[in-house]
Amino acid sequence: MKHQLQQEQVIQLDFSEEMKISFRDYAMSVIVARAIPDVRDGLKPVQRRILYSMIELGLDPNKPHRKSARIVGDTMGKYHPHGDNSIYDALVHMSEDYSLMVPLVDGHGNFGSIDGDGAAAMRYTEARLSPGAMALLDHLEKGLIDFKPNFDNSEKEPVVLPAMVPNLLINGTTGIAVGMATNIPPHNPDEVIEGVIAYMDNPDITTQELMNYIPAPDFPTGGTIINVDDMAKIYETGEGKIRIRAKAEIENGDYGRKNIVITEIPYTVAGNKTKLVESLSALIKDKVFDEIHDVRDESSKEGIRIVIEVKKDRDIENLLNGLYKKTVMEDTYSVNLLAIKDQQPVIFSLKGLIQEFVDFQVEIYTKEYNYLLDKAEKRLEVVEGLIKATDVIDLIIEVLRGSSSVKQAKACLMEGNTDDIKFKSEASKKEAATFSFTERQADAILAMQLSKLIGLEILKLHDEEGNLRDSIKEYEKVLGSKKELFKVIKQRLNEYKKIFHSHRKTMLINTKSEDYVEEIKVEDKYVLIDRFGYTKSLDSASISRVLEENLKEYKYIIQMKNTDRLCCFTDGGNMFQVKAENIPRCKMKDRGALIQTLCKLDKEEVILYTSFEQLFESQLLFVTRNGYIKQVSGAEFETNHSQISATKLEEGDKVIGITLLSAGDVLANNQKVIILTDNGLSLGFPLSEVSELKKNSRGVRAIKLDKDDKVCFGIAVNQSTETFEYNDKVYNAKKVRMRKRADKGQKAKL
């Protein structure tokens, strides 16, 4: 029996299905109850609970501040059992004037700073509600919104606050949920309220027409939005990217320098200004911008002031372009107008957000005026009863004196029941039997003070009756016409507009990010390469101090500009490039770096080193092992790639000779080509017989070779040249027999 009971208590579930359901429930809980704001009041649950706890504690703007720890404790204990850190972080955020256009909390003490400093512990800080929060909390006692049980059913909390300003658009919000996120930028209060009123005047207004009132977000930190043309699409779709720039001014500095002064930072850096200053300082350390002399932060309570000192005679506009490109002085704000409506996340357009706010206003103002109407009608009922009572006050006093209990007197006032009441005369009893006061009137009469019988007080009652009738008429008029209701909403919005008035802080322009042109001071340098391939560079001043004897150990000494490139041609038919700036700048005694590490050479042997500037203005003569030859213009090798193919080779072939020829030598037609083979044959012919071809061609036959013979040497020299070197031996150039290209070579003792 026990075994059977245990089996009945086992519930079998599909693991994947349970995970799916549990994760879905968790995701919806995070979306609806944690991270995404309600479209009506623009608040997340934790923010709403903090503000409600504060109003319960009586922390109005005109009341003293209270310890933040008390506020956090009340909020956590009554409404938000998710940890004190999350509550305190939300409380601090609602006090940040650099995050919100209209802060909701008035903080007292160290609540952090725009630099990125954190707030002090909650036991040290104090807070109270700001006027902005009261615009969300006013009229809470009028029953305008619904309440729900808290997490343990011990308290009631508001489902939404009776917000009478469009808080979601004015203050914006950021939140990351499961599978979605919201990122609503803050806007100017004046502009948003004007946009709401424009929608109420014309519900068919287009997004483009709304942008006449709300052209773009307005960030508390100022800055400049540089892609205003994109705002129409962003406001229409509810998604997009805004480009924000810091506001920078150019001032005269010391010693003839110019300074770039940052006075406003992008909203994305708000709360982390120190990081911006540190990133600017790192530009000097990492030598990203040679133009910057110094960076310092001179910010104070008066405002932000970050000074970038620029070296003398530098292009400041170009430097600014570089700073916008490589730092967060220009940043992207990703807009996602996501909010909760009817317990579901929805992406809204600008008009959609305004429409939801107006619909909410119609709802709460209708409830407010119904509340006021009901209150006025109840009061009018009482006042009418008191006025009626003053006319028969003597009889009422007689009833009270003749009654044995309040219940008996009240029954007489309401129903004319005179049983067991002692009257002075039968006439009084007969008149008392005509009483028909309502219960509310009877209670008011029984509670009335004798001072109300003074003539002036009676006049006040008559005045109050007139005022109540006028008010009731006005309330009924508002409730009976949407136009009149809108008039009341607009009037109150204009009052809030005066309270929260703010000039636009963020400038609006349309511009594209300009490219930064790196400023490089052009100067001569010398590249030294020894026979082992170790490479280094020296400036002109350094090499002038080196003894000529010490330079003999270097196989190649190439003069070039620091903006130039070192070109390396290999026997594998490839050309490698190394930027001059990447060649180690060393002292003469230093060894340098292997050329293989600078340009990723593998096992190929370098035949020719030259600067690209010299190469571009020259001709190259290629001679291969299989006896092919060609001329190629140096301009053919212009490329940004670090490695390209310099010539086409047959399988098994390789380059054995490359000669750099000046354009003047080629035009003078005074050059001859000398070819040597493994079998000791030599051949000479004029350079003019060699065709100029493209670099990707194989070339033409230079010499007729036997099957077992290969070319071992090829060079172009001046006709007057007497000797040439090969394999560390000197040969007589005059003894080379001159014949036609592609002839068979001749044995000769050179």
By the 8 A CB rule, do 267 and 185 touch? Answer: yes
For 204, residues 6+ apart whose C-beta sits below 8 A from its C-beta are none
Alpha carbon of 354 to those of 59, 222, 241, 493, 731: distances in Å? 30, 24, 21, 13, 93
Tens of pLDDT, residue by residue over 685-733, are 999 899 899 999 999 999 999 989 999 999 999 888 888 888 878 888 8
The CA angle 4-10-13, to the nearest 5 degrees, is 145
Torsion-angle region of residue 633: left (phi > 0), alpha (psi -120 to 50) or beta? beta
Look at residue 626 and tell me whether its pLDDT is greater than 50. yes
Torsion-angle region of residue 736: left (phi > 0), alpha (psi -120 to 50) or beta? beta
Find the helix or strand (DSSP H, E) in which 522 lies. Answer: none
By the 8 A CB rule, do 32 and 24 touch? Answer: no
For 468, residues 6+ apart whose C-beta sits below 8 A from its C-beta are 376, 379, 380, 383
Q: Is residue 417 part of a domain?
A: no
Look at residue 87 and tell me whether its pLDDT is greater than 60. yes
By the 8 A CB rule, do 318 and 519 touch? Answer: yes
From 138, 162, 186, give the residue that closes a domain: 162
Going by pLDDT thresholds of 50, 70 and 90, the confidence category of residue 513 is: confident
From 145, 162, 179, give the residue that closes a domain: 162
Tens of pLDDT, residue by residue over 543-556, are 888 888 888 889 89
Q: DSSP secondary-structure letter at 52?
A: H
Q: Is residue 215 part of a domain?
A: no
By the 8 A CB rule, do 561 and 524 touch? Answer: yes
Tens of pLDDT, residue by residue over 175-208, are 887 778 899 999 999 999 999 999 999 999 999 9
618-624: strand order across its sheet: 655-662, 618-624, 628-633, 700-701
Q: Is there a single domain that holds both residue 148 and residue 259?
A: no
- The yes-or-no answer on residue 199 being catalytic is no
Q: DSSP secondary-structure letter at 269?
A: G
Find the helix or strand (DSSP H, E) in which 320 lies. Answer: helix 316-326
Query: What is the spatial distance between Cα 400 and Cα 398, in angstroms, rounded to a whole number?
Result: 5
Q: Is residue 407 part of a domain?
A: no
Query: What is the spatial distance between Cα 693 and Cα 698, in angstroms, rounded to a whole number?
Result: 9
Find the helix or strand (DSSP H, E) in which 450 lies. Answer: none
Specify the number of domains making up the chain. Answer: 3
SS3 labels along 373-430: HHHHHHHHHHHHHHHHHHHCHHHHHHHHHHCCCHHHHHHHHHHCCCCCCCCCCHHHHH
The CA angle 485-208-202, to the nearest 5 degrees, is 20
Look at residue 9 and tell me whether its pLDDT is greater than 80. no
Q: Which of 467, 324, 457, 341 is nearest to 389 (CA)?
A: 457
Q: Is there a single domain that holds both residue 620 and residue 716?
A: yes
Against a cut of 0.75, is the pTM above it? Answer: no
Q: Is residue 715 part of a domain?
A: yes
Tokens 């067991």 belong to 420
Q: Is residue 173 part of a domain?
A: no
% the chain with pLDDT above 70 = 95
From 293, 313, 328, give the residue that closes a domain: 328
Q: Is there a single domain that holds both residue 602 and residue 707?
A: yes
Catalytic residue among 124, 213, 333, 609: 124
Tens of pLDDT, residue by residue over 491-507, are 999 999 999 999 999 99
Quote the domain boundaries for residue 287: 247-328
Going by pLDDT thresholds of 50, 70 and 90, the confidence category of residue 165 is: very high
Q: Can you give the CATH number for the domain in which 722 is found?
A: 2.120.10.90
Calculate the average pLDDT of the chain: 89
Pairing relationship of beta strands 258-264 and 247-252 according to DSSP bridges: antiparallel
Look at residue 519 and tell me whether its pLDDT is greater than 70. no
Q: Is there a single domain that holds both residue 699 and residue 596?
A: yes
Tokens 């009441």 belong to 421
Find the helix or strand (DSSP H, E) in which 544 lies. Answer: helix 540-544
Tokens 């809980």 belong to 29
pLDDT at res. 158 = 95
Q: Is there a single domain that holds both residue 543 and residue 681?
A: yes
Q: Is residue 496 part of a domain?
A: no
Q: Is residue 437 part of a domain?
A: no
Q: Can you give the CATH number for the domain in which 278 is found?
A: 3.30.1360.40
pLDDT at res. 1 = 47
Q: Is there a single domain that holds both residue 554 and residue 669?
A: yes
SS3 at position 205: coil
Going by pLDDT thresholds of 50, 70 and 90, the confidence category of residue 21 is: low
Alpha carbon of 609 to those of 93, 534, 578: distances in Å? 63, 13, 11
Q: Is there a single domain that holds both residue 541 and residue 674?
A: yes
- Within a 13 Å sphere around the CA of 412, how many CA atoms are in the beta-carbon half? 29
Look at residue 418 and tell me whether its pLDDT is greater than 60. yes
Tokens standing for residue 137: 């909390």
Pairing relationship of beta strands 628-633 and 700-701 according to DSSP bridges: antiparallel
Tell whether the torsion through CA atoms of 125, 127, 130 and 136 is positive or negative: positive
The b-or-e profile of 237-257 (16+ CB within 10 A means b, else e) is ebebebbbbbbbeeeebeeeb
Q: DSSP secondary-structure letter at 34?
A: I
% the chain with pLDDT above 90 = 57
Q: Is there a single domain that holds both residue 613 and residue 735?
A: yes
Q: Is residue 112 part of a domain?
A: yes
Tokens 């190439």 belong to 558
Q: Can you give the CATH number for the domain in which 151 is found?
A: 3.90.199.10
pLDDT at res. 610 = 93
pLDDT at res. 24 = 64
Most confident of 122-136, 443-457, 539-553: 122-136
pLDDT at res. 110 = 95
Q: Which of 21-25, 61-65, 607-611, 618-622 has the lowest mean pLDDT?
A: 21-25
By the 8 A CB rule, do 160 and 185 touch? Answer: no
pLDDT at res. 30 = 58
Q: Is there a single domain that holds both residue 117 and residue 252?
A: no
